[in-house]
Amino acid sequence: MRVLSAIPPEGKQNVSDSIPKLRTPGVLAAALGAPLHRVLYVLRTRRHIRPSANAGRLRLYDRDALAMLRHELTAIDARRERGRSRVK
């Protein structure tokens, strides 16, 4: 009887390690705790945040896009807060 190990032999990678983890806009919104409409707005208006792949009509984004999206949402919130402080 042969026993399979969960640990790959040295120099070999698991197949799951080489498969990129791509996320839909809804998954990105959930990960950031942001409303989906804000995430979709940023993805639509920031041309530098591009999908890594498409699955039919779905746009799929990688970890780098998640970081850029987080940065853009933070920048929007900072500009909004700065505008509110001037009005008071």
In 3D, which of 59, 19, 38, 81 has the Cα closest to residue 69?
38
CATH number belonging to the domain at 21-87, selected among 3.30.470.10, 1.10.230.10, 1.10.287.70, 1.10.1660.10: 1.10.1660.10
Let me know: does 60 contact 21? Beta carbons within 8 Å.
Answer: no
Instruction: Report the C-alpha gap between 28 and 35 in whole angstroms.
Output: 10
Give 53's contacts (C-beta < 8 A, 6+ positions apart).
22, 60
- Domain spans in the chain, listed from the N-terminal domain onward: 21-87
Per-residue pLDDT tens digits for 51-73:
999 999 999 999 999 999 999 99
pLDDT in the model for residue 57: 94
pLDDT band at 13 (very low <50, low <70, confident <90, very high): low
pTM, rounded to two decimals: 0.73
